[in-house]
Structure 1
Amino acid sequence: MSQKRVLITGAAGFLGSHLCDRFLAEGYFVIGMDNFITGDSKNLAHLSSNSSFLFIQHDVTNFINIEGDLDYILHFASPASPIDYLKIPIQTLKVGSLGTHNLLGLAKAKEARLLIASTSEVYGDPLVHPQTEDYYGNVNTIGPRGVYDEAKRFQESITMAYHRFHGLETRIVRIFNTYGPRMRLNDGRVIPAFMGQALRGEDLTVFGDGIQTRSFCYVTDQVEGIYRLLLSDYANPVNIGNPHEITIKDFAEEIISLTGTTQKVIYKDLPVDDPMQRQPDITLAKNLLGWEPKVGRAEGMKKTYDYFKNLTEAELHKSEHKDFSNYNK
Structure 2
Amino acid sequence: MKRALVNGAGGFIGGHLVKKLKKEGYWVRGVDINQHQFSTSEADEFLLLDLREEENCKKALSVDHGTFDEVYQLAADMGGLGFIHSAETQIMHNNILINTHMTHNAATFGVPRYFFSSSVCVYRDMQPGEPEMHEFEAIPAKPNNEYGWEKLYSELMAIAYSKKSDMKVRIARFQNCYGPEGEWHGGREKAPAAICRKIAEANDGGEIEVWGDGSAIRSYTYVADMIEGIYLLMHSDLEGPVNIGCPQYVSVNELVETVCEIAGKNVHTKSIDGPVGVHSRNFSNARIYSIGWKAKYSLKDGIAETYPWIKAQVEKNSAAGRK
> Shared fold (TM-score greater than 0.5)?
yes
- Shorter-chain TM band: 0.7 to 0.9
User: In structure 1, what residue type is equivalent to 2:305?
Assistant: K
Question: C-alpha displacement at 1:296, in angstroms?
Answer: 1.9
* Partner of residue 242, structure 2: 238
Q: Distance in 2 between matches of 1:84 and 1:14?
A: 16
Distance 1:280 1:230, change over 3 A: same
Give the secondary-structure state (helix, strand or coil) at the position aligned to 2:293.
coil
Is contact 2:123–2:142 with CA below 8 Å preserved after alignment? Answer: no
Identity %: 26
2:211 is the alignment partner of 1:220: no
Superposition TM-score, scaled by structure 2 size: 0.87
Q: Could you tell me how far 1:111 is from its partner in structure 2?
A: 1.8
Alpha carbons 2:15, 2:36 under 8 Å: kept = no
Match of 1:42, SS state, is coil
Query: In 2, Cα distance between the equivalents of 1:282 and 1:140?
Result: 20
Is contact 1:5-1:29 (8 Å) kept?
yes
- SS of aligned partner of 2:136: coil
Aligned letter for 1:122? V
Three-state SS of the structure 2 residue aligned to 1:266 is strand
Alignment of 1:1-329 (within 5 A): 3-36=1-34, 41-45=36-40, 47=42, 53-63=44-54, 64=57, 65=59, 66-68=62-64, 69-78=67-76, 79-86=78-85, 88-112=87-111, 113-126=113-126, 129-136=131-138, 145-146=145-146, 148-186=147-185, 187-201=188-202, 203-269=207-273, 271=275, 274-287=277-290, 289-311=291-313, 313=315, 315=317
Greater CA drift, 90-99 or 107-116: 90-99
CA distance in structure 2 between the aligned counterparts of 1:45 and 1:316, rounded to whole angstroms: 23
SS at match of 2:115: strand
3-state SS of 2:17 partner: helix
Please state whether the residue corresponding to 1:20 is helix, strand or coil.
helix
Deviations 1:81-121 (A, max 9, x none): 23334454334213432211211122213321111000010
Displacement after TM superposition at 1:237 (Å): 0.5
Offset at residue 139 of structure 1 (A): 6.2
Report the Cα distance in structure 2 between the residues aligned to 1:43 and 1:314, rounded to whole angstroms. 12
Tell me how far 1:261 sits from its aligned partner.
2.3
Q: 2-side partners of 1:95 and 1:316: how far apart?
A: 33
Q: Which one-letter code corresponds to 2:192 in the other structure?
A: I
Tell me which amino acid in the other structure corresponds to 1:45.
Answer: T
In structure 2, distance between residues paired with 1:254 and 1:27: 37
- The whole-number CA distance in structure 2 between the counterparts of 1:15 and 1:134 is 25
- Tell me, in whole angstroms, the C-alpha distance in 2 between the residues paired with 1:318 and 1:151: 38
Q: Post-superposition shift, 1:280?
A: 2.6
- Structure 1 unmatched ranges of 5 or more: 320-329
Counterpart code for 1:110: F
SS class of match (1:252): helix
CA shift, 1:44, in A, is 4.2
8 Å CA contact 1:221, 1:293 repeated in 2: yes
Looking at structure 2, the residues matched to 170 and 54 of structure 1 have their Cα atoms a distance apart, in angstroms, of 24
- How big is the shift at 1:77? 0.9
Aligned to 1:322: none
- The SS at the match of 1:151 is helix
